[in-house]
Structure 1
Amino acid sequence: MTTPAPPSSSTDLHGRSLQTRSSLAQDLAALGVRPGETLLVHSSLSSLGWVCGGAPAVVDALLDALGPDGTLAVPTHSMDNTDPAGWQAPPVPEDWWPLIRAEMPGYDPRTSPTRGMGRIPDAVRAVPGAVRSAHPQSSFTALGARAAEVTEPHPLECNLGDDSPLGHLERLGARVLLLGVGYDACTTFHLAEYRVPRPRLAPSSCAVLRADGTREWVTYTDVELDDEGFPELGAAFEAAAHDDDGAASGAGGGGVVVGRVGDATARLFPLAAAAAFATAWLTEHRA
């Protein structure tokens, strides 16, 4: 089989270059994605260029780069399954709240839609054999050799802490790939919020689907999550321990590899290193 030539240098009317499954897989390998590793991906499809085949082609490219022994994980959160009293984008009338609480469908990992995660995570969720975690608000979906280890368990009282897929990914030695998105999308920094001294706690409510098929509106207490300051935190992480040969090697501070995948800027780094740095940074910078 003949390998297709790389996409041409021409662009469309929006300035996007042509990208394909094979070209993206080559870019991922050049960035440093390794066969057999476990990778948590946060992504923006539109940042990559004009992708032949859309989001499913990107998923295929990621799986090609990871190989048959690798594992791909993505966030598939359902953050519309929350108390309507806190909705701001957009808010809803207060007299709607009781009916929403009474009628919000219970979370079903097979069918509940994602919200605000982008088209690539939805494409991962649709792949036969994908495994999605049980949390009704902060689920992750994984594909590959260690998918079950990534996603199970995921208890209700632990959105993004040590008992969530983020904690499992850390124990599996996963790396994080920011694919056309910034550090504001880095869920690993939320893991650090559980590890600071005296983390803030808050109630959260959602609709759950019980094993017997009944639906229930429940309230639980967990760490209050706040992504304010994550871009500054990410910049500090990337600048940390910067060495003189970082530019030549493609690695910035903190073990961050920066490069191009399609038209997008991509960043690749160890999840454990990011969580450790973020814990120290948040402890120092947040009251």
Structure 2
Amino acid sequence: MTTSTAPAVAHTRTGLAGQLTALGVEPGGILLVHASMRAVGPVSGGARALAGAVRDALGPGGTLVVPAFTPENSDTSPHYLDRVRGLDDRAREAVRAAMPPFDATTPAPSVGRLAEAVRLGPGAVRSGHPQTSFAAVGPSARSLLAGHRPDCHLGEDSPLARLYDARAQVLLLGTGFDTCTAFHLGEYRVPAPPRRTYRCVVALAGVRQWWEYEDVALDDSDFAALGADFARVAGPLVNTGPVGSSTSRLFRVTDAVDFASRWLPSHRDPVLCGTRG
């Protein structure tokens, strides 16, 4: 889901930075961003200029974090299942055989142009999870992304938990709550969350191999409804305003996660399977 209006001219880095500051992005803070360049509209300088605008609003002491997820190297992900739907066994195996193994340089096309501009930018670091890594730039980047356990997508041993501890902000830059990764940490914090098996291809010591592990069953299918209730109940805790041609939202990771961990048990069947990975 994206929200936008048609722009008259290309947006500038300076103008976007001013709008982000007006929205409430904190100088010196930590910010997790999910963005739709299409919703923001044309930007002079493209995704790199938009990333620069976010960093300008954060200032030199701030840290920008983005998802760098890679469902393309998994045969248990919705991305793979959509790709092989209708294929015979031989064709499916050919798709699996052609999947590139994850390493620190693996592209993350599914997370959008802004996130990729950050991942590829100077000074960026990336966490090591082969499916749900994060990229970040700024003074706190390395400490936030360190220790991302490969069998913990988005739980207590992931950057999301470090962002929670740091009371980071979340910016939905022209995207809807259906993209709000912070809600996944709430899934880990409900009593006895359902679990499932994940599988992906990785490069270990230069050798391509498949790796299977168990983790919480992630499901973002109801995040739009969860987010609508969060925005309604949280009220002033969710700042809403224009950034470029988009309507964007800004809030704390802590508020989103705490609300999700209360909302999910009463709105979900506890045996639902996950949809990510």
Q: What is the TM-score normalised by the length of structure 2?
A: 0.90
Aligned to 1:275: 257
Aligned to 1:95: 90
Aligned to 1:70: 62
Alpha-carbon shift at residue 74 of structure 1 (Å): 0.3
Amino acid at match of 2:37: L
Aligned to 1:233: 226
Deviations 1:238-271 (A, max 9, x none): 11154xxxxxxxx3xxx10111111111100000
Which of 51, 68, 84 is matched with 1:59 structurally?
51
Higher relative CO (CA 8 A, sep ≥ 6), structure 1 or 2? 2
Amino acid at match of 1:279: S
Q: How many residues align?
A: 262
Question: Residue 17 of structure 1 contacts residue 263 of structure 1 at CA under 8 Å; is this kept in 2?
Answer: no
Deviations 1:139-159 (A, max 9, x none): 110000000112111111111
Aligned to 1:82: 74
Query: Structure 1 275/262 Cα, relative in aligned 2: closer, same or farther at 3 Å?
Result: same
Which of 28, 40, 53 is matched with 2:32 structurally?
40
Residue pairs, 1:120-159, within 5 angstroms? 120-159=114-153
- Which residues of structure 1 form unaligned runs of 5+? 1-11, 243-250
Q: What is the TM-score normalised by the length of structure 1?
A: 0.87
Query: Structure 1 16/133 Cα, relative in aligned 2: closer, same or farther at 3 Å?
Result: farther
SS in 2 for 1:83: coil
Query: Structure 1 241/82 Cα, relative in aligned 2: closer, same or farther at 3 Å?
Result: closer
| Identity value in percent | 46
Displaced runs of 4 or more, over 6 A: none
Amino acid at match of 2:225: E
Q: Which has the higher helix share?
A: 2
Which of 204, 217, 227 is matched with 2:210 structurally?
217
Alpha-carbon shift at residue 91 of structure 1 (Å): 2.3
- Which residues of structure 2 form unaligned runs of 5+? 270-277
Q: Partners in 2 of 1:223 and 1:65 — Cα distance?
A: 35
Residue pairs, 1:186-201, within 5 angstroms? 186-201=180-195
Question: Residue 16 of structure 1 contacts residue 263 of structure 1 at CA under 8 Å; is this kept in 2?
Answer: no
Q: Partners in 1 of 2:92 and 2:149 — Cα distance?
A: 26
Amino acid at match of 2:38: S
SS in 2 for 1:169: helix
Alpha-carbon shift at residue 17 of structure 1 (Å): 3.6
Question: Residue 257 of structure 1 contacts residue 267 of structure 1 at CA under 8 Å; is this kept in 2?
Answer: yes
Q: Partners in 2 of 1:81 and 1:279 — Cα distance?
A: 29
